[in-house]
A and B are shown apart, each in its own frame.
Chain A
Amino acid sequence: MKTHWQILVVDDEEVMCESLAAWLREDGYIVDTAASGREAVEKAHQRDYAIYFVDLKMPGGMDGIETMMQIRKLHAEASIIIITAYATVDTAITAMKEGAQEYIVKPCNPEEISLLVSRIIKVKNLQRENTILRKKLTRQYSVHDVISKNAKMHEILQLAKEVASLPSTVLIQGESGTGKELIARAIHNAGERASKPFVAVSCAALAETLLESELFGHEKGAFTGAAAQKRGKFELADGGTIFLDEIGDISPKLQVDLLRVLQDRTFYRVGGTEEVRVDARVVAATHVNLQQAVAEGRFREDLFYRLNVIEIRLPPLRERREDIPLLASHFLERIARELGRDVSEITEAALGVLMDYNWPGNVRELENAVERAVVTCRGHELTEEHFGFLARAAPAAKAWAVPTGASLQDMEKAVITATLQRTNGNIKESAAILGIDRSTLYEKIKKYEIPR
């Protein structure tokens, strides 16, 4: 995957600059050129190149060594190769002392440059892999890791940043796969608690008694099998954040216990008599509509208000379709790299399939779909055939039968209502679909009192 690495060639001699750039481009790298040290520094301001080839002797008051030092100030980890036609031991020593990774004399053997570049890129690839693995290991995601150009998502990310340093409880609501835990981790990592633990608990995964012990810990002998005292997740999250996923699924008894923790910041371990005090910020998440659960008496109203101090509602993927190409490209790059596959493109037709699909499993489903497509892909690009399984997975359209017992006016109202819903209330689009002009549509909306 060379194409992701960018190289800057800096030389005041155009022919030298362009010929090296062209030679590197043939190797698949993206190569920019700069005709002076100043231009190179300007370009380094805009982009962090993997490798800089810098000519030692350049006019204009900024030679190769000075250029290198300026670039180093911007990108301490930059790999800089000094090239010169005038090799002296002194200049070589100076260049290396100032941080040049290599020093080559032109003209040089093609094998030398080729080996040099591939060695540096190999190290860069390992460094990047290392960063990704570390990030995965510690799951230190930030708001910048959330990929979206959707205005609503941007508002949410802004809110996440604003509330990160507050102690208030946050309730994240959204369908499965919308990234609730990612937002919770981003809030944790953007605040003052970032260096303290982030402890995630899936409330739906455990039975009531197990969950109680998991959250609050237990004393030795509290129940059969409790051979030793165990600290619960609340204690483990002391000073940090506890993320209670699927909070809507907890039992009425645990709802009471949780309410007490939120009110008093204290609890008892299962089987314990000693009060335990913790300072853990609570971020809860649910895929069910908690307000509705409250209305139906399945969830305590007082607990709901304790949790719902700051509310974040994550939109499903079908309501932020503009993010689908962005997310698909991001997953493709990451998955292809992880699987070692040379797949780098998604065709327009394939993107069309992704845009048309409803994504009930949201971003997680999209990620899985891209992985499945990459695994089955034998070429360099994902085509619509690679996403054929989505069409099979989509529920077949219900057979439509002409209703009997309804008036023509009822039918007309139903069709207009459904069309407006499909177009999110877009009059122009709805009128076009219905085959009537806009003024007629307005009249009918008024006549049937259809909400928009």
Chain B
Amino acid sequence: MKYLYVGMTDEVDRGAARRVAARVEAAFGGPVRELELGSVEFAHDAARGQYASIPVLEMLLRRCPEDARKLLAVTGRDLFIPVLTFVFGHAQLGGKVGVISLARLEQEFYGLAPDREVLLERADKEALHETGHMFGLVHCAERRCAMSLATNIRQIDVKDNAFCPQCAARLRKQIGEQV
């Protein structure tokens, strides 16, 4: 039996991470197991004040349990890849591991009053997006699809908390092939 794993870093809001786990279970045909990942301080880049996502993915590959189909980590740290100022998440396309960051999904990041429902909804969408990449899905041209590319928070808010019919069909095929 293979499981989808949702990993949680030390600092992440457990309630939000568990909500992500439930969404992943519903969307990808669970069951989902939780995994404590510890700290991601090793990925801290002092010059940028952010966390490099590539070392995080490398750590996830090392920590990935034998019985894992996929491992999606949830962190509260702000992530980046060298060429970009930030990423909302990062996953291996067609691979086993991925990570999403809640840092830029919070209203507070944009100087607004906290709104937990908004945060959880955004986290759901990002979790679908990065897990979709792990199942081989690429970006979708349909703006409302969870697989559409979001380079700012408005684009995440425009998305539905679901895949478009075409991506859903592709996903079913991929899941079928990978089981």
Contact = CB atoms under 8 A, between A and B. Distances in A.
B177 to A, nearest CB: 13
Interface stretch (A104-112, A134-142, A259-267): A104-112
Nearest to A109: B85
A414 interface: no
A23 B54 contact: no
Nearest to B91: A26
B49 to A, nearest CB: 12
A27 interface: yes
Contact of A110 (B82, B84, B91, B166): B84
Contacts of B80: 107
Interface string B54-95: 100000000000000000000000001111111100011100
B54 A19 contact: yes
Given A25-B93, A110-B151, A15 B169 contact: no
B53 to A, nearest CB: 8
B143 interface: no
Contacts of A27: 138-139, 149
A113 interface: yes
Given A15-B54, A25-B93, A379-B166, A110 B138 contact: no
B54 A110 contact: no
A333 to B, nearest CB: 17
A352 interface: no
A104 to B, nearest CB: 9
Interface string A88-111: 000000000000000000111111
A357 to B, nearest CB: 26
B166 A109 contact: no
Interface residues of B, number: 23
B133 interface: yes
Nearest to B84: A110
Contacts of A114: 149, 151
B85 to A, nearest CB: 5
B151 A109 contact: yes
A109 B83 contact: no
A107 B85 contact: yes
Nearest to A55: B83
Contacts of B138: 2, 25-28
B93 A113 contact: no
Interface in B118-152: 133, 138-139, 141, 149, 151-152
A388 to B, nearest CB: 20
A382 interface: no
A114 B84 CA distance: 11
B139 A111 contact: no
A263 to B, nearest CB: 62
B18 interface: no
Nearest to A25: B93
A345 B149 CA distance: 23
A22 B149 CA distance: 14
Given A26-B138, A111-B152, A379 B84 contact: no
Contacts of B166: 342, 379-380
A28 B85 CA distance: 21
Contacts of B133: 26
A83 interface: yes
Given A15-B54, A25-B93, A27-B149, A113 B84 contact: yes
A110 B87 contact: yes
Nearest to B132: A26
B95 to A, nearest CB: 10
17 contacts: A15-B54, A16-B83, A19-B54, A22-B93, A23-B84, A23-B87, A27-B139, A27-B149, A28-B139, A107-B85, A109-B84, A109-B151, A110-B151, A379-B166, A379-B169, A380-B169, A380-B170
Interface of A: 2, 13, 15-16, 19-20, 22-23, 25-28, 83, 106-111, 113-114, 342, 379-380
